[in-house]
Amino acid sequence: MDIRDEYVAGEFDRTEEGIYFPNSGVLAKGIFTVSKRGEEEEISENLVVDEGLDYILGTAVGATSVLSNWYIATFSGDVTVLSTWTAANFTASATEWTSYDEATRVVWSRGSVASGGVDSFASKATFTSSSDTQTVRGAALISASAKSAVSGKLMAASRFPSDKSLDTGEILDIGYGLQLTAV
């Protein structure tokens, strides 16, 4: 049985560490790093949502086309991230935050895949607030670049450990990493 078969059969566990596939001995997890420029960086564990798991498994077995670009999206909703979130419902479910200077969601500038992981920690997404008294509560990795787009795929989302309050010109830096580990 491979990971895709385990997923389809519901033979996996959502744990605090990530998604565990016991028959294959694989743990999938991701993290966001976030910091308001000039403040200490925080680590925010994410939820790889069902749509993201389907995409990962589909591309691994050749059943799904590979998407070449992914983007960081931010949200301001006082919400709990759910596994049922998708690209189609992310904007409404999370209250996507779009009051930043960048014209689109910011591209996820991932590094090379190595040792079962990939991340953008060396080249984080930068968001410059275009308004005062903004609150950003979380981020997501999504395949559509347009702000508030309801197309594409949602890979993962996370509620930050603390809300980020921004005024005009203040900058938020966000990185994302995904790791598959044999356990």
Tens-place pLDDT, residues 125-135:
999 999 999 99
Q: pLDDT tens, 85-131?
A: 999 999 999 999 999 999 999 999 998 888 888 889 999 999 999 99
Residue 165 has pLDDT above 70, yes or no: yes
Give the chain's mean pLDDT.
Answer: 90
Contact 181, 27 (CB under 8 A): yes
Domain boundaries, the chain: 29-182
CA angle 123, 126, 129 (to 5 degrees): 175
Confidence band for 1, pLDDT divided at 50, 70 and 90 = low
Q: What is the pTM of this model?
A: 0.88
Q: pLDDT tens, 27-75?
A: 878 899 999 999 999 999 888 888 988 888 788 777 778 898 999 999 9
The helix/strand count (H/E) of the chain reads as 3, 13
Residue 26 pLDDT: 83
β-strands 19-21, 171-182: how paired?
Answer: unpaired
